[in-house]
Structure formats: C-alpha cells, structure tokens
Chains A and B, each alone.
Chain A
Amino acid sequence: MRAASDPAAGRLAWPVAVVAAVALALLVLPIVGLVARAPWSELPELLARASVLEALVLSFGTALVSTAVCLVLGVPLAALLARAAAWRALPRRLLRAAVTVPLVLPPVVGGIALLLLLGRRGLIGGPLEAAFGITLPFTTGAVVIAQVFVALPFLVFAVEGALRSADRRTELAAATLGASRWQVFRFVTLPLVAPGVAAGAVLCFTRALGEFGATITFAGSLPGATRTLPIASYLAMQSDPDEAVALALLLLAVSVIVLLSLRDRWVPGVRA
C-alpha cells in the first residue's frame, strides 16, 4: 500500500520486499536445484537411450502437429472472438467462456471429458467405432487431441489480441480496392496479425510439449505411441531418477529457448 502512494518509487516497505523475495525464491530455486543436481557427466549417455529418444521424437512430433492443428482451427476462432465484441452480452460471454475453459480446467478433468466423448462408449467415440472402426483413446492421435484441447486457448487469445489492435479500416480500404472477404483476410488481416500468430504458436507449442494430465488420462502411457517426454520423465522418477532429471533438463532447455525467442514481445494477457 505504501509503495503505491510513495512518490519515491522503487522504495518498498521491508515486509513487502521480504515476501517478494520469498516468492521469487519459490520460482527460481527449484530450477537452480534441478540444474545443480543434474547428472551432467552422464547426460550424453542418458539422452541417447532408446526410451529417451523415443519419447523425444514422439513429444516433438505430436507438439508440432498439435500446433499446426491449433493454427488451422484457432485463427478462425480468434477472428470470430474478435468479431464477437459487437455481439450482445450473453452469446459473447458464452463464447469467451468456452474458449477459456481449458485454461482453468484441471488437465486430468479434460482428459476424462475427452475419454467420455471420444472413448469406445462415448458420445462420438461409440458411433465412430461402429461406423468406421476407429478407436481414438490410447493412440498417438489421442495425444494430439489432448494437446490441442489444452493448448488451443493460448493461440486463440494471442491472435485475438492482435486482431483487436489491428486497424479495421485497413480491411475496409482493401474491400474498396476490389478484395473479396477471403482476399481481405488473406492479404490484409492475416499479415497484420502475423506477429501475434507467431507468438501464439510458440506458446501453444510449449503448452502442448508440456502436456501431462489430459494426455495420460486420455492417451495413456504406451512407449513409442503415447509416452511423451513429461510422462516418461514422471515414470522414470520411480525407477531411474537420473533419467528423469535428464528428461526434465531437456524440457527446461526448450522452455528457456521459448522464453528467449519471445523475450518481452508477448506474455499471456499483456501486449508489449
């Protein structure tokens, strides 16, 4: 409270400073611990193991596919959400709530929900198996679906923010120059929001790569098919902690790269 009214900005009451330091330690010390206790000398050997490589390839493959799916589905959804600003309150809020659900829902709940929808006896899963013989749960496809479910809002909100800040009149100008609605989207709207799309895709990829709860519930943990890096790391913790730490370091390295690539350009909810 004092800090806000204090004209000498930068000076904090000491209890505030102490609590802030504790909070910061809580965020940073676990990473320090991980890096400090990592079996650095054995790292090359650990990371070269077949089980690790298998999880690595599966994780990056599924996260890339999920990001692509999120781009294809999420950009139009973001366009709808941005346009919904002109709607009446109820449908507008319902739409926004629907997109926000995966952000606030525990991933395990998402996994159970997906299982009940797409499982062999699910609302869609039952007819799907009866008609086409397709069963989704516990397949690599299920991994992608679980990742898309949790990661899509990250992309949608990033793109929506970019769409809202773009000047709508450029779209009108394009229309007077003979551009059809599709051409306006393709040649004006999309290029204008490209930075937002890129930032959203990076966040989406990171979220997909780290997905655990929904994946293990809906897709299980089959080596080579559904056992992604986070799941492999969690399981290795019971049998071979060194391997688990190596996998954790791998995920940490990806996070650091993402952080560097985004820098201060975009964090959720805030535009630079």
Chain B
Amino acid sequence: MSPEAAGTSGGAVADPAHPALHADVRVMRGRSQVAARFDVAPGHPLAIIGPNGAGKSSVLAAIAGLLPLAAGQVRIGGRRVDAQPPEQRRIGVVFQDYVLFPHLTVLDNVAFATRMRGSRARARAAAEPWLERYGLSALVDRRPAELSGGQAQRVALARALAAEPDVLLLDEPMSALDVEVRAGMRAELAIHVREFGGATVLVTHSPADAAALADTVLVLESGAVTQRGTLAELRADPATPYVERMLAASTSD
C-alpha cells in the first residue's frame, strides 16, 4: 500500500469483495494531454461529465488499458494494473453504442467472457442467470442487429458483468438510446449498477445521467479536472461557466 492510499475517499476498503479504484491517468489525445486523478469507492459510482472533446472517453480507455498511459497509475484495491493488458485487468466496459459482437447471438455475447476461460457448453450454462436477471431470456437466439437500443444496452451490461469484473466502466451508456426510452432505461441501469456494487465510473454529458447513476461528479474540461463533488455541491457553487450552463440547461431534463 502506498501512503497515498490513506488519503482516499472513505469506504475504499470496506467491502473486501469489491476493491476500490484508484486512477491517476495522463493520456495523450492527439497533441493535447488529458489528466485526471480520482478514487472511486465500491458502491459509490462516479460520473465524469464534460463537454464533447474534453477527453472523458480517453480517461475511461486508459483505465481499461485500451489507450496507453503517458504517466500515472491505475490501481484496483492493492493491485496495480497499469502495466497489464486489458484482458488481465478485470475491468468491465459498456462501450458507447455497446459494440456487441455482431456475429454472435445474445446468448454467446453474454457467455463470451466465460467462454474465454472454458468450454462453450459451460459458458452458455453460466450465462443463463445473467440473461434471466437482465430480462434477455426470450432474446437468446437474436443477433445484435435484431435488438432495440434498450435491449442492446441490457446485453452489453450483462456481457460486461458476466465476466465478474472488479470495476465497471460505462461510456455514454444512454447516448445510443431514443429519447422516449431514455428515462426508463436510466432507472433500470441505476438499479443494475447498485446491484453490481463494485467501483463504477460513468462518462456522460448529461447531468440527468449523473443524478440517477452516480454519487459524485467529476467535471472534465479541455483535458483537466475543473470541479468535483455531488451535483448539489456543484449547483451550490459552480466552478466554471461550463458547469453553470450545464446545470441550468438540465433543470428541465
């Protein structure tokens, strides 16, 4: 344990089944740098919010190991993962527009992670409870192209969580959904994120997503963190004109 861990947010070691995430990432995004440092306790999701092009998705990609770190480190509990390839990090990702495997059925999408560690039959059997929990049992034979946006989101979440990750990352999970179904899916996703119980980071540009899904908010603008706190704290004392505008625009959301 490094001495830095002592000063992190409370509850980080409270749940032994779900370790906390400690991220201190600097990544190059074209010529500019994105830097963010934060800790996420299990069961207390963090929303990274910011305008388009602020580098939110780059931060997530760096944590997942999909983008190289220029500097910094990523730790999950006491395990340092930034030198590991993505497949060894135990970090589940729900991608923007979900990126399901188009050649596999819903069943085999959800069974994918288990399939990588064993036989097809065992993987399919292990996928059953996940399919049931996410209301996908009637859709097992469908291909991703035959799913609605909401169904695809459920499959993406079930696929990521069936891998039993330590950390869950959600990249703009609502952006691929039609406006009519967004509120319903948001409430549903909030329940599933609470059920997961591990450290969760969500990227969004919508305060409504942050309010429903996260405990705290981290504002990222032009590659740097400009404010962090609960939405109420942000509302009480917006640090930048962007935060003020964003919160004002969202009162009707």
Q: How many chain A residues have a CB neighbour from B under 8 Å?
A: 18
Q: Are A174 and B101 in contact (CB under 8 A)?
A: yes
Q: Is A170 an interface residue (CB 8 A)?
A: yes
Which parts of B62-104 form the interface with A (CB within 8 Å)? 64-66, 85-89, 91-93, 95, 99-104
Q: Are B113 and A173 in contact (CB under 8 A)?
A: no
Which B residues lie within 8 Å of A173 (CB)?
93, 95, 99-101
Q: Are A179 and B116 in contact (CB under 8 A)?
A: yes
Closest residue to B64 on the A side, CB-wise? A176
Q: Is A177 an interface residue (CB 8 A)?
A: yes
- Give the distance in Å from the alpha carbon of A173 to the alpha carbon of B93 in the complex: 7
Q: Is A178 an interface residue (CB 8 A)?
A: yes
Which A residues lie within 8 Å of B163 (CB)?
176-178
Q: Are A169 and B116 in contact (CB under 8 A)?
A: no
Q: Are B99 and A177 in contact (CB under 8 A)?
A: no
A140 to chain B, nearest CB (A): 38
Which A residues lie within 8 Å of B26 (CB)?
none
Q: Which interface class (under 10, 10 to 19, 20 to 34, 35 or more) fits B?
A: 20 to 34
Which parts of B86-135 form the interface with A (CB within 8 Å)? 86-89, 91-93, 95, 99-104, 112-113, 115-117
Dominant secondary structure at the A interface: helix
Which B residues lie within 8 Å of A202 (CB)?
none
Q: Is B160 an interface residue (CB 8 A)?
A: yes
B158 to chain A, nearest CB (A): 12
Candidates A180, A183, A188; contact of B101 at CB < 8 Å: A188
Which B residues lie within 8 Å of A192 (CB)?
102-103
Which B residues lie within 8 Å of A188 (CB)?
101
Q: Is A40 an interface residue (CB 8 A)?
A: no
Q: Are A170 and B101 in contact (CB under 8 A)?
A: yes
